[in-house]
Chain A
Amino acid sequence: MAAPLVLVVLAAVTVRAALYRSSLAVFIAERVEVASPLNAWKRVVEGLALLDLGVSPYSGAIFHETPLIIYLFHFLIEYAELVFMITDVLTAVALYLAIQDFNKVVFKKQKLLIELDKYAPDVAELIQTPMEMHYIPLKVAVFYLLNPYTVMSCVAKSTCAINNSVIAFFILATIKGSAFLSAVFLALATYQSLYPLTLFAPALLYLLQRQFIPIKLKSKSFWLYTMQYASLYLCSLVVIICLSFFLLNSWDFIPSVYGFILSVPDLTPNIGLFWYFFAEMFEHFSLFFVCVFQVNVFFYTIPLAIKLKEHPVFFMFVQLAIISIFKSYPTVGDVALYMAFLPVWSHLYRFLRNIFILSCVLIFCSFLFPVLWHLWIYAGSANSNFYYAITLTFNIGQILLISDYFYAFLRREYYLTHGLHLTRQDGTEAMLVLK
């Protein structure tokens, strides 16, 4: 499988290199959908220039990157394009290896459940075969590398690519089963942008499953492992934050990075839901609503953990999607990361109800974003409501996509244990409905 992957990587690198040399690079770098105040390349350059002038880059409200990014780009700023291309390639390779391993795990588990007779007799068509699963890792790599969102994100040199890369490595480490590495990468991801904190739950569930520790609240081994993992995670986080202190000998970066993410002061339009709401809100209520909006991201973790405790990787996918939709400054790079996972659930296709409409909605909205931006800002014949409408539609499309996959997943699980042809008590055919 190495050769097709190499080919895909080469194709992706060519596309990106071609776009870097074209005039589109400047245009894409300016787009608000691709570059948010958190990860725009312009701001990285500005921060480093400020540092060269002897001023702390966190002194203004321009630079919101972590000190490790400062360190990384201090030496690599002339090779920025290469760095971002390599990051994308690394992410794709990490996802490829992770899904390869995951497929093995799925297959093993499936075999075990078949031998234990846990499946109903007539579900043969629902079982995943190695044949169809063979190409999934390659498809995942392709979906990530050749996704227009990723390409645009890379051409704009948005540090979202680095975020995605760290999360991909975290997923790889988790699926390989190494709790230590997984905790380290999760700490890095959380340090970078606060929201991957919610990925702690799926990773923990996956590692517990792998260690064959049953997830019961009273079980001692469960709590022991949880404590171990949590302490690894927290220690690495603390170590990384303390290390960042020593870069500039100040704690300035904490309000600039985390304070900025949490309090959302910058209301530049993006594809998220925060900006419009807070632009028109009274000062009086903004604290309350900031809290509500931020809690919204973290809120779904516990219910999903309860429902999906047997399927932690799907949980991780849904959680990633929720982060990309509800985070304070989303960009299309975040969307591209969870979309890369869609081939893994391609066996759910027969249960997806609205996939055509949703894909149309997402594609149309992606095209309408620049159109309505132009109409609003340059032509002056539209206003912010138009752009917000498209943002809303795009996010609704994403939410419906995730809930559709969720529904399809649960339905398949139900069919696997209860058989494909469901009958009611009186013998007539029954329909499965998600309540």
Chain B
Amino acid sequence: FQDQAEQFFRSGHTNNWAVLVCTSRFWFNYRHVANTLSVYRSVKRLGIPDSHIVLMLADDMACNPRNPKPATVFSHKNMELNVYGDDVEVDYRSYEVTVENFLRVLTGRIPPSTPRSKRLLSDDRSNILIYMTGHGGNGFLKFQDSEEITNVELADAFEQMWQKRRYNELLFIIDTCQGASMYERFYSPNIMALASSQVGEDSLSHQPDLGIGVHLMDRYTFYVLEFLEEIHPASQTNMNDLFQVCPKSLCVSTPGHRTDLFQRDPQNVLITDFFGSVRKVEITAETLSLDRHVPGLESKFPEEEMATEPLKYAEQLPVAQIIHQKPKQKDWHPPGGFILGLWALIIMVFFKTYGIKHMKHVF
């Protein structure tokens, strides 16, 4: 009974997905790409395969002409950690990172030609981690310097996901200015949200690297990354520890979180429930034998094919009848008064012009 109760408090998910989005382009937004790649790295290290990660990067920093260290994206100023390794798979790149594509990925309403790597093929037993970073404001997040996604849109997208049973539980992390405004509007169950700053506060970046010339990471994600580096697939660290990451003294902004929509107690939610892909393994003591002939199954196919009846179609339009129909009678006729008036006028004009004397030739 204790086991069953414990089972209740464990997550009921069977697979993990991650949607990691960096919404800013341009070289000076290097840190946003580095943020996303750090989370990607952690998530992959903890077991989520590329097939279950949708990575959206709005710009290419590793191969940017301004990158003095090409093919690398560093997260710390001493170039300790290259988060852009050999096996980064970016699913949505550059201009493909749009609000529309992001919402389509979340809700699953994608054109049939989209490749699998670009789809979020989650089901109702999936735990999804959604990480977004970029520039934001009170109630919106800027995509690519040209459009925005609002907190209302995001909340509605999550509700669509809930109604379509596309997630079991969802962890939403956002590292932008005034990030807490983005999770204010959520109303679907089983969502837990973290943000790097409250409404009215800016999220600040960590130190700049003078060799590369830009800020390498944002503070919140930097400390989250540090925290995640300690996690391994068997860790029992729970969400409450994640909420403590980056206090105001280190982050300058006040990170926020929201758990009212989440059914389980954050105490019982493991980090690896969202950041890792921990398979549940049940050890059983029974054995099953698989024999060649399984009794009870009969051959389903008949010995010979029977002659099938010719296919009949439903009653169609009687085309032959239609094309030979006479055109139907017109329903509208000009009123008699009009015709009378018109012809009277015409006759009057005629006789006025040509004289009354012609009348006796007519009659």
A residues contacting B by CB (< 8 A) are 51-54, 68, 70-71, 74, 178, 180-181, 184, 239, 243, 246-247, 249
Contacts and interface: CB of A to CB of B under 8 A. Distances in A.
A152 to B, nearest CB: 28
B331 A54 contact: yes
B342 A180 contact: no
Task: Give the dominant DSSP class at A's interface.
Answer: helix
B338 interface: yes
17 contacts: A51-B332, A52-B332, A53-B331, A68-B342, A71-B334, A71-B338, A74-B330, A74-B333, A74-B334, A180-B352, A181-B349, A184-B349, A239-B345, A246-B337, A246-B338, A247-B338, A249-B335
Interface range on chain B (Cβ under 8 Å from partner) = 10 to 19
B341 interface: yes
A54 B331 CA distance: 8
Contacts of B338: 71, 243, 246-247
Contact of B341 (A51, A180, A181, A246): A246
Interface core residue of A52, A71, A243, A246 (most chain B CB under 10 Å): A246
A239 B349 CA distance: 13
B342 A243 contact: yes
Contacts of A180: 349, 352-353
A294 B352 CA distance: 36
B340 to A, nearest CB: 10
Given A181-B353, A184-B349, A246-B337, A52 B342 contact: no
Q: Which 9 A-B pairs have the closest CB atoms?
A: A246-B338, A51-B332, A247-B338, A52-B331, A243-B341, A71-B334, A181-B353, A246-B337, A52-B330
Contacts of B337: 246
Interface of B: 330-335, 337-339, 341-342, 345, 349, 352-353
A184 B348 CA distance: 11
Nearest to B329: A52
Nearest to A55: B332
Contacts, number: 37
A397 to B, nearest CB: 39
B332 A54 contact: yes
B330 to A, nearest CB: 5
A306 to B, nearest CB: 32
A68 B338 CA distance: 10
Contacts of B349: 180-181, 184
Nearest to B336: A246
A178 B350 CA distance: 12
A178 B353 CA distance: 8
Contacts of A54: 331-332
Contacts of A53: 331
Contacts of B341: 243, 246
A384 B271 CA distance: 59
A171 B341 CA distance: 26
Contacts of A246: 335, 337-338, 341
Nearest to B328: A52
A425 B48 CA distance: 105
Nearest to A245: B338
Nearest to A243: B341
Contacts of A68: 342
A347 B339 CA distance: 47
Given A71-B334, A180-B349, 8 more contacts: A54-B331, A71-B342, A74-B330, A178-B353, A180-B352, A181-B349, A243-B342, A243-B345
A94 to B, nearest CB: 15
Contacts of A74: 330, 332-334
A70 B339 CA distance: 12
Nearest to A70: B334
A261 to B, nearest CB: 23
B322 to A, nearest CB: 17
A247 B341 CA distance: 10
Contacts of B342: 68, 71, 243
A70 B338 CA distance: 12
A31 B338 CA distance: 35
A20 to B, nearest CB: 20
B344 to A, nearest CB: 10
A51 B331 CA distance: 8
Nearest to B331: A52
A433 to B, nearest CB: 46
